[in-house]
Structure 1
């Protein structure tokens, strides 16, 4: 077969998510090159890819070849690598690569960037971060919570008593900027050996949107209790936060193209469980953005699915919302919640 004919031949379809493909690519690169790539990622991306790496098994040679080919096609249109930010990197990479290789990889990632004391907290387990800041002044606690990614911040909040959660959330909502000297002092307190140089201008931090993102990531019952408590203290603050929150039911407001893109990233099993707790309007929104055949299969699966615990439904819905927010952050889709557009 000629080279031209080989190029024209369609590539076989992969039943792999983009994260799985990234995991295969990194496993193919080897430890050294993988470490160089991972330096450009934050904890959240490393966690997701590390999880995928740990779950890889029976990868066919053809799949590896297609993944590498797809990557090369993508690279031709890009000018560089840039990725965002989570917590369980050590466990994930140890599971995927073994203790020795994983520890070497982690050291190179951490030492390869300008990790500050606050940034170091992003690589720690939520319970450990809660212990670190437990005895700090509430304003210090609020700054830390506002600085971290919303899903990690929400998990940290779960380790505090209800009254403390309320105090922290009210302070997060009222934050706007933080003086560089205050951030530098906080860095020194938290992790002197990782302290970075203070920035020359104030740092934007906190506010209603950050508070809403943290609330979105809380357990549903905890979220409801905290929102009621916030509104008791200040009705306006509670309303402002609630207007910026994006919940599963708000997917009705996402344009069809966005729903279609989201569905490509969600597994069928997670979607089925999530839709068990959705109303008919949202279910129909999903059905109409699938092929006729796929919609029929999904309807059949929903009907055949037995009773599902509320906690499982909420977990599946939160998983989909996490994907939706990630896609919104990268500009792939636009989310609308509370009557407003939220990017």
Structure 2
């Protein structure tokens, strides 16, 4: 892969672009072969966001490309995690971005590559699709599937079930410690038959209290709180253990300053405004002190001038920031600490 450094100074202000837009521009400026080599290393949810950005690009000037290339070459040792969704969405987004003929081979390499087999096939599907597929399976199979998938996707799948089923599944996930490789292989083979893939046996340590807490972190508040109340009612000790393992927005106060600064690079301004609108002064100051004085002053002014925000929107913004924080923590870039009618704020 070759990325040429522009000899002149780019006049386009690359800081106007977020990380996903930069990635989309970089990929679209490469050959299909080079882009495929990069994309095949991303997770399904990562490919979704990049694909959406690629499809949505309206301006693709050489000036903008040069600016992104120069930034990439200056920052090449840094790694940015991005998030994503279904196979069908990826197909549509990349076809819209590249055209049907050019996108064909690239899509096949990404979607039908080595990572889309057995249980992994479910990662490329819409959450409603997965819920439909496993709805009539034995609860233990549902439990294994939900424990295997990413917490965010599992939360979306669980949202498709009734309160009673959600409670049963969350209790099973919390009690699950491991699955025998033979049992996991058998389930993998069932999925392979459905999606014409292949997969080998793999280690099967999954589930447990931490898995339950991770899934709870991604549930909408309207689902999360009743489910937590039901868990406590059925097993108070388990409910408390799950709660202790959950990481909520207020826990960001325990992240060190360098971690907050790293997190801020991945957070859009509007998202941060909505999230802080529903936060107390202590957590606001945590963010303010890790920004430049000018940026902090501007954010304070924006918060004061900001009109009412639905509590649900503010909480969703907080969850989006937490999702970024968890991805950065998984990549070893930051350390997380702590535990875990429309309203307006």
TM-score bin, normalised by smaller chain? 0.7 to 0.9
Q: Residue 198 in 1 paired to residue 201 in 2? A: yes
CA drift of 1:337 comes to 2.1
The alpha-carbon distance between structure 1 residues 95 and 251, as it changes in their structure 2 partners (threshold 3 A), is farther
The alpha-carbon distance between structure 1 residues 195 and 296, as it changes in their structure 2 partners (threshold 3 A), is same
Superposed CA offset, 1:43-73 (max 9, x none): 0211121122123232342331232234345
CA drift of 1:100 comes to 4.7
Contact 2:262 2:334 in 1 (8 A): yes
CA drift of 1:168 comes to 0.8
What is the CA–CA distance in structure 2 between the aligned matches of 1:73 and 1:301, rounded to whole Å? 32
Contact 1:19 1:49 in 2 (8 A): yes
Alignment of 1:95-134 (within 5 A): 95-134=96-135
Superposed CA offset, 1:161-190 (max 9, x none): 111111111111111221111112112222
Contact 1:141 1:168 in 2 (8 A): yes
The alpha-carbon distance between structure 1 residues 322 and 114, as it changes in their structure 2 partners (threshold 3 A), is closer
What is the CA–CA distance in structure 1 between the aligned matches of 2:164 and 2:298, rounded to whole Å? 47
Q: Pick which of 42-51 and 53-62 moved more.
A: 53-62
What is the CA–CA distance in structure 2 between the aligned matches of 1:332 and 1:110, rounded to whole Å? 28
Q: Residue 245 in 1 paired to residue 246 in 2? A: yes
CA drift of 1:34 comes to 1.6
CA drift of 1:247 comes to 0.9
CA drift of 1:298 comes to 0.7
Contact 1:153 1:214 in 2 (8 A): yes
| Match in the other structure for 1:218 | 219
Contact 2:85 2:126 in 1 (8 A): no
What is the CA–CA distance in structure 2 between the aligned matches of 1:320 and 1:197, rounded to whole Å? 35
| Match in the other structure for 1:263 | 264
CA drift of 1:283 comes to 1.1
What is the CA–CA distance in structure 2 between the aligned matches of 1:31 and 1:114, rounded to whole Å? 19
Superposed CA offset, 1:66-110 (max 9, x none): 3223434555x59x9999984342343244334454454322213
The alpha-carbon distance between structure 1 residues 317 and 21, as it changes in their structure 2 partners (threshold 3 A), is same
Superposed CA offset, 1:114-142 (max 9, x none): 53220000000000100100011101000
Aligned pairs, number: 330
Give TM-score, length-normalised by structure 2. 0.87
| Match in the other structure for 1:186 | 187
What is the CA–CA distance in structure 2 between the aligned matches of 1:84 and 1:310, rounded to whole Å? 24
The alpha-carbon distance between structure 1 residues 184 and 316, as it changes in their structure 2 partners (threshold 3 A), is same
The alpha-carbon distance between structure 1 residues 250 and 301, as it changes in their structure 2 partners (threshold 3 A), is same
Superposed CA offset, 1:251-286 (max 9, x none): 111111111111121111111111111111111111
| Match in the other structure for 1:3 | none
Contact 1:41 1:84 in 2 (8 A): no
Contact 1:266 1:320 in 2 (8 A): yes
Contact 1:40 1:83 in 2 (8 A): no
The alpha-carbon distance between structure 1 residues 313 and 91, as it changes in their structure 2 partners (threshold 3 A), is farther
Contact 2:51 2:94 in 1 (8 A): yes
Where 2:91 maps in the other structure, the secondary structure is helix
The alpha-carbon distance between structure 1 residues 189 and 9, as it changes in their structure 2 partners (threshold 3 A), is closer
Where 2:337 maps in the other structure, the secondary structure is strand
CA drift of 1:10 comes to 9.9
CA drift of 1:313 comes to 0.8
What is the CA–CA distance in structure 2 between the aligned matches of 1:8 and 1:51, rounded to whole Å? 30
Q: Residue 158 in 1 paired to residue 159 in 2? A: yes
Where 2:156 maps in the other structure, the secondary structure is helix
Q: Pick which of 311-320 and 63-72 moved more.
A: 63-72
What is the CA–CA distance in structure 1 between the aligned matches of 2:234 and 2:284, rounded to whole Å? 37
